[in-house]
Amino acid sequence: MLAVNFHPFHNLETERLLLRRVNNNDCKEILSLRSNPETMKYIPRPLLKNEEDALAHILMIETKIQNNEGINWAITLKGNPKLIGVIGHYRIQLENYRAEIGYMILPEFNGLGIVTEAVKEVVKYGFEIMKLHSIEAVIDPDNEASACVLKKNGFVKEAHLKENEFHDGRFYDSVIYSLLNKE
């Protein structure tokens, strides 16, 4: 069975980006991301309401890293430590050598190729460092921007699940994209 170890924590670099550990100094940006109905439009989770909620979210991210249950990075532009998004591997299935990738970015950075660039690096980390066999992304079928990012990174649509998620009084569909290590 697969074993993952996120210690020491690895920062990742791309041409334009530094992906680093999320910390309490990112509180305001995490709050901006996760309290914004626009950025949360396709993420069926409750909106954060205040800095306390944001700090609790950061603690949850850190706890998952400490327990080797998941890993998240703050997306930052090189030369500027300000968090503009988050990306990571969630729901790691050790027995299946598979993890789910997830990401979000502040709206003012949409359409600049930043998420595509970050996904490429985090996929590389998943296959080369974590030794995953496959990576999946579970997205809202209406989230065309996310589907585009995934396709640019070689992911293929694997399934469309009907009303499989319940949030805020209604059922939502999910689409699963995946990428195999050999692809």
Residues 6+ apart with CB under 8 A from 61: 22, 70, 72, 86, 88
Find the angle CA(118)-CA(87)-CA(166) to the nearest 5 degrees: 135
Domains contained in the chain, CATH given: 12-137 (3.40.630.30)
pTM of the model: 0.95
Q: Is a pLDDT exceeding 80 seen at residue 183? A: no
Digit-coded pLDDT (tens) for 18-27: 999 999 999 9
Residue with tokens 């109905």: 37
Digit-coded pLDDT (tens) for 98-149: 999 999 999 999 999 999 999 999 999 999 999 999 999 999 999 999 999 9
Cα 39 off chain centre by: 13
Residues above pLDDT 90, as percent of the chain: 96
